[in-house]
Chains A and B, each alone.
Chain A
Amino acid sequence: MKKKKALILKTAGTNNDSETAIAFTLAGASSEIAHINEFISGRKNLLDYDILVIPGGFSYGDYISAGKIFANKLRYKLNAQFDKFLSERRIVLGICNGFQVLVKMGLLPFDEDKQAATLMHNDSEKFECRWVHLKTIKNDASLKLKMKNFLFKNLPDVIQLPVAHGEGKFFADNDVVNKIKNSGQILFKYCTPDGNETAKYPLNPNGSVENIAALTNPSGNIIGIMPHPERFVIGEHHPLWTRKRTEPWGLVFIRNIVDPT
């Protein structure tokens, strides 16, 4: 079978590109790191890839709103390629800063041209690097978000991944949040080790509304996640591996993105 091609798109200040590429390779894709200038100049084309990943980091320093400049570059400089990529329902994954980019572009939560939500400064007002528990929010059959349930293949109800961000608090108006909930777009929520969703710090490390840690667009092909699946792709990434072995859930999740069947 031909390997899926994953593009890890970087720009100045992207800094999770190499581990993300390693993770996608481990998950069975062929991954390539490329700079956005390659696409703006026309030397490369987004449509040559099956999966577009916008990795974590501090694009352009995040000195103005996190992810905003990268979002504008994608929106205004790669518009045609990007729209075609999306209209073919190819997969877009934004991790951490990449999630911020997708939200600032307006692609998440609703795949519209305007920004409907944001990721704001953590309630703790600090950058935080820590492992969190995440509850998988499965959809029942009434919701037609098929793609989403594939993402949970081989995942238990509660998994662990690390977060490392200063601006990860998902925030939107009530109607927006309700709409996201009702259409089953939420992927992961911060929770206790037993799987009870919680707003308590530091279990919910940033104060996200509805404890949202990851979500998709209504069609399920655009995914934004604040925690870092690419940082849990071997057992020894887990902070407690010297006590107890745990499946690398980040790798399982990325495998499901590479092979959503």
Chain B
Amino acid sequence: MKTKQIDIMSADKNKLHEISAKNMLSLTTGELCEIQKYFKKKGRNPTDVELETIAQTWSEHCKHKTLTAEIKHKAPHLLSVSKGDNLKIKQDNRSNEQKVRGKIKNYNNLLKDTIFKATKKINKKWCLSVFKDNAGVIEFDKKYAVAFKVETHNHPSAIEPYGGAETGVGGVVRDILGVGLGAKPIMNTDVFCFGDLDISYKKLHENVLHPKRIYKRVVEGVRDYGNRMGIPTANGAIIFDEGYLFNPLVFCGTVGIIPKNKVNKKIHAGDLIVSIGGRTGRDGIHGATFSSASLDKDVPAGVVQIGNPIEEKRFADVLVKARDKELYNAITDCGAGGYSSAIGELALFSGGAEVHLDKVPLKYDGLLPWEIWLSESQERMVIAVKKNKIAELKSLFESEDVQVSVLGNFTDSGDLKVYYKNTLVCEMDLDFLHDGLPKSKRTAVWSEKKPMPSKEKKETDLNKKLIKLLSSPNIASKESVIRQYDFEVQGQTVIKPLVGVANDGPSDAVVLKPLPDSYRGIVVSNGINLYGKHNTYDMAASAIDEALRNIIAVGGVLDRTALLDNFCWGELTGEKQFGELVRACEACYALSVKFGTPFISGKDSLNNKYQKKNGEIVSIPPTLLISALSIIEDIRKCVTMDFKKPNNPIYLLGITKDEYPPKVDPVLSKKVMLFLQTAIQKGFVAASHDCSDGGLGVALSEMCFSGGFGAVIDLKNVAAKNILTEDSLIFSESNGRFVVEVKKEFENDFVTLAKNVCANKIGSVSGSSRGSERLIIKGLSGAHIIDCSLYELKYAWQKTLS
């Protein structure tokens, strides 16, 4: 008998805790007590298979216990954002004590009461499947839908960056293959946060890899998996900050296309449980529970799997064929928790399942039953197949060398039964497995941190400051990374990640034209920032504003735009830490509703922390990645960010403020976005670019060197609020702003359309006599406070990461 009974019936709380720790189950004592109660009722101890199944199913990774917790939020100033900045500042000046005595807000389920609630409230009929499947699905056209999902693979990428990143891509691609009845992956987006590249090796702690190594290997992992599978990696971002030294973040996203009538799964009792793809080995055991633990010097590298993109490509191709021949009626991927999660979740459709682990094809002998059941070996999917279709399905898959194994069948018995060589090794009620998890209750407190004064010496020479900003790693060109990705495979990328006269300018978003016989398109962008160190509400609001600005800048449409959230947090034990999470969720709700852009899917990765030898815990800055996807009718109306023509007027949309971190005024922002959207549709706009990191100065520089034209700008015409210095006029990162090059012949129409919108002419594109192209910014006194050649600007921007 290879299966052990684990004695929990007689265990006290200490013993229970010990069992969880020893078996790497990451269960809390409260959860263990609930499990004990269940098995006491059954009158027996659980087997290792059962206990492991519960631990995987109840893991933070699978159940999102923290984000769905019941929360009492002591929030001093639950302001509605529209009340404006002045009020906010006044409130900030109150003492901390007053703040704590402020309002209390209760949430039954944080996620449901904020992010899901926004989606419900917005109620877009083009949302076809949200928050219930492996990805969010929205309507594309009459026949097709688009699926989008972004995952994180942070812990694995910290210990084995290549394998971690590779399997991160492989995993999210399988999410897309496993949504509905399977979507075809058409694009990847990948966003990374790494530590400072120039940190000294001497300062690294034990088992912490140097950010340079993580950076290089993560890029290679993403490159090799995406390129080999033939999925264009066409959007992304990279942020460097000391806060990610111990815990880098690797976000992997995939977009897929699927016929609208293939969005739902169905399983009947009697349908076969069929596994397709790779064999099962001992790689990646305990990934789901491991992702809830802190990293430290002793983390075993065996939890990270090895990817095989060709295996995944092999079955991905046949899957779509099998789907269209209706050979199966449900599908999901094997991710964290392996078969235990995949089959456990599908079993809910029919109300039960019976699995025979000895039918699983293994990479090698010697796996214990629980290891087979939990292994996260890559490149496997589980499908539900009618008995009369299995022969045809098998021959189709086998014709392209994909292994197909029948592991058992779905039932309606209400329980999950797992056998190994005819011995029952697991028998549990599905109700208990999926709903038995005790609800976690938390208290959260919000208190705003005072913005830290910048440690950096203030640069008074604005030319130098601009050059320095352009060459800072977070703004500098990522071309050396982007070109390693095949961003054009599948022949659908019509606005590429690099744009402009020399194909090296930073595009705001990517645009795909997925169907050969239609000009309809998909726009994808992201927003991410470091403001979470100061204020998580502003961080989340700014990320949403930025993602949407990027969509609008290339020609996206606000009321056909959907959002994805990816929360990455550090330690979450204290009330204040929890308060930061709650505030970010509140921002997501408020902004999503105001912009009318629903969330369709999301994911959280918590416990991104590292325990130093002396016991000190280091957490990442609270980080939220917002990914946005918009459906547009005609890709031919899209614009790029490079200046196009001398003498065209340049307008700045939105208001510049002296603020850090920047706030979002969603009413104003939305108005500006809708205006620009219309102006682009009408063909008035030659180029547009969002103002974000490095403000107006960086946006203008990028537009100049990408287009090969200089510009002359007059700061006097910048619409500003509370601004005292030229420095902040040029470098403020206020949200809601765009720089727009208007076609001269349409300037009057543009201005007429701009009535009631803050749009100010700040200058024009200058001539193109070779060698003399310069960006000139005239200050408030009329002096040329910025005067740089395009060569200087571009060189500064390109050299850092080349």
Contacts and interface: CB of A to CB of B under 8 A. Distances in A.
A38 interface: yes
Which of B488, B496, B498, B513 has the largest count of A CB atoms less than 10 A from its CB?
B488
A129 B451 CA distance: 42
A60 B636 CA distance: 37
A40 to B, nearest CB: 10
Contact of B310 (A10, A61, A230): A61
Interface string B493-521: 01110110101000000000100100000
A261 interface: no
B421 interface: no
Nearest to A165: B486
Interface string A217-261: 000000000001011011011011111000000000000000000
B227 A37 contact: no
A243 B501 contact: yes
Contacts of A16: 230, 489-490
Interface string B306-319: 00111001100100
B324 interface: no
B484 A127 contact: yes
A168 B6 CA distance: 58
A37 B401 CA distance: 9
Nearest to B223: A127
A13 B313 contact: yes
Contacts of A243: 501, 640, 642, 644
A227 to B, nearest CB: 11
Contacts of B636: 236
Contacts of B485: 127, 129
A47 interface: no
Contacts of B491: 19, 22-23, 230-231, 233, 237
B228 interface: yes
B487 interface: yes
Nearest to B314: A12
A249 B310 CA distance: 31
A128 B489 contact: no
Contact of B399 (A38, A127, A237): A38
A164 B638 contact: no
Contacts of A23: 491
Given A239-B499, A243-B501, A128 B310 contact: no
B227 to A, nearest CB: 6
B773 to A, nearest CB: 16
B399 A35 contact: yes
Which of A15, A19, A60, A231 has the largest count of B CB atoms less than 10 A from its CB?
A15
Contacts of A233: 491
A67 interface: no
B635 A236 contact: yes
B229 interface: yes
A60 B310 contact: yes
B478 to A, nearest CB: 13
Nearest to B639: A242
A162 interface: yes
A22 B482 CA distance: 26
A231 B400 contact: no
Interface string A114-137: 000000000000111111000000
A58 interface: yes
B663 to A, nearest CB: 33
A152 to B, nearest CB: 23
Given A35-B400, A58-B310, A19 B642 contact: no
A45 interface: no
Interface in B304-341: 308-310, 313-314, 317
A67 B499 CA distance: 32
Contact of A237 (B401, B483, B494, B501): B494
A63 B483 CA distance: 21
Interface in A1-58: 10, 12-13, 15-16, 18-19, 22-23, 25-26, 35, 37-38, 41, 56-58
B313 A12 contact: yes
Contacts of B230: 15-16, 57
B392 to A, nearest CB: 15
B484 A126 contact: yes
Contacts, number: 103
Nearest to A38: B399
Contacts of B484: 126-129
Q: Which secondary structure dominates where chain B touches chain A?
A: loop
A128 B485 CA distance: 7
A240 B501 CA distance: 7
Contact of B503 (A10, A130, A236): A130
A61 B309 contact: yes
Contacts of A126: 483-484
Contacts of A164: 227, 486, 488-489
Nearest to B308: A61
Interface in B360-381: none
Contacts of A18: 490
A58 B642 CA distance: 34
B309 A129 contact: no
Contacts of A231: 488-489, 491
A22 B310 contact: no
B635 A13 contact: no
A15 B400 contact: no
Interface string B111-131: 000000000000000000000
Contacts of A26: 516
A60 B399 CA distance: 16
Interface string B225-243: 0011110000000000000
Contacts of A58: 227-228, 309-310
Interface in A134-179: 162, 164
Contacts of A15: 228-230, 313, 489
A13 B399 contact: no
Contacts of A37: 399-401
Interface in B176-218: none
Contacts of B492: 19
Contacts of A237: 488, 491, 494
B227 A127 contact: yes
A232 B484 CA distance: 20
A22 to B, nearest CB: 5
Contacts of A230: 491
B516 A22 contact: yes
B489 A12 contact: no
A18 B494 CA distance: 17
Contacts of A57: 230
Which of B317, B399, B482 has the largest count of A CB atoms less than 10 A from its CB?
B317
Contacts of B227: 58, 127, 164
Nearest to A55: B230
B317 to A, nearest CB: 8
B400 A130 contact: no
Interface string B80-110: 0000000000000000000000000000000
A228 B486 CA distance: 12
B400 A236 contact: no
Nearest to B234: A129
Contacts of A241: 494
A19 B490 contact: yes
Contact of A128 (B401, B483, B494, B642): B483
Given A13-B310, A231-B488, A131 B503 contact: yes
Given A15-B229, A164-B489, A236-B635, A129 B642 contact: no
A109 B365 CA distance: 47
A12 B318 CA distance: 11
A142 B501 CA distance: 40
Which of B229, B317, B489, B516 has the largest count of A CB atoms less than 10 A from its CB?
B489
Given A61-B308, A129-B488, 4 more contacts: A12-B310, A18-B490, A25-B516, A131-B503
Query: Nearest 7 pairs between A and B by C-beta?
Result: A15-B230, A19-B491, A61-B310, A236-B494, A164-B486, A242-B640, A58-B228
12 contacts: A10-B317, A19-B492, A23-B491, A57-B230, A127-B223, A127-B484, A129-B484, A129-B486, A131-B503, A236-B513, A239-B496, A242-B640
